[in-house]
A and B are shown apart, each in its own frame.
Chain A
Amino acid sequence: QVTLKESGPVLVKPTETLTLTCTVSGFSLSNARMGVSWIRQPPGKALEWLAHIFSNDEKSYSTSLKSRLTISKDTSKSQVVLTMTNMDPVDTATYYCARICGTIWGYYYYMDVWGKGTTVTVSS
């Protein structure tokens, strides 16, 4: 059974750095055509893709947040870590990690298994 679980602080202060960890099980972070994405959702708002990392260590970031984000993985620990610097109250959201799968035919990528999410509040 494939599962992903997000962990990190519930509350951070403005200007602090947020570090979130996604611990996966049921698959390996070295599997071909697989990766992990981070997505967030402010209260009452839409989903926003933040970053992803693939098994070949290819990384990508949201254009609007690129300067503040860093994603990395530790395959031996089955963990993907996202850091976001200079947190602001507008970054208050539920943060999800999700597994990315790709088809052999046409390399279509999709997020097929999601964690339950972790809620982060930014407040002094």
Chain B
Amino acid sequence: DIQMTQSPSSLSASVGDRVTITCRASQSISSYLNWYQQKPGKAPKLLIYAASSLQSGVPSRFSGSGSGTDFTLTISSLQPEDFATYYCQQSYSTLIFTFGPGTKVDIK
């Protein structure tokens, strides 16, 4: 199975900061990579699909990049509502989906 890792596991940032989260796959997954945001007690929300496509309704401060094994999620200017946990997920193999372990973004 394809394994996903994320770094850092947590970070502290201030409103207005540029934040970058990294996701790495154990083998090449082309651009079959999605990003989700989850707030405490809530279901995850899709932010980015196919590595860089912004889901409808998601603010443009969120962007995704990468292909192969290395991917990044960038928040260009962190807003108060962005404090959450972020997960990457591969869909290269439609037989087996895999999530990363998550990156928690909290207030500095």
Contact = CB atoms under 8 A, between A and B. Distances in A.
Interface of A: 37, 39, 46-49, 52, 54, 58, 60, 62-63, 96, 98, 103, 106-112, 114-117
Nearest to A6: B43
A49 B97 contact: yes
Nearest to B30: A106
A47 B49 contact: no
Interface string B68-108: 00000000000000000001010100111111111000000
Nearest to B101: A46
Contacts, number: 72
B97 A117 contact: no
Contact of A47 (B44, B50, B91, B94): B44
A48 B55 contact: no
Given A46-B99, A46-B101, A49-B98, A108 B43 contact: no
The 7 closest A-B pairs by CB, nearest first: A110-B49, A114-B43, A108-B50, A49-B97, A109-B91, A47-B99, A110-B34
B86 to A, nearest CB: 11
B32 A48 contact: no
Contacts of B43: 96, 98, 114-117
B102 A108 contact: no
B31 interface: yes
B95 A110 contact: no
B50 A106 contact: yes
Given A46-B99, A106-B31, 5 more contacts: A39-B44, A46-B87, A47-B89, A60-B96, A110-B55
Contacts of A110: 34, 46, 49-50, 55, 89, 91
B45 interface: yes
Given A60-B94, A108-B32, A110-B34, A49 B46 contact: no
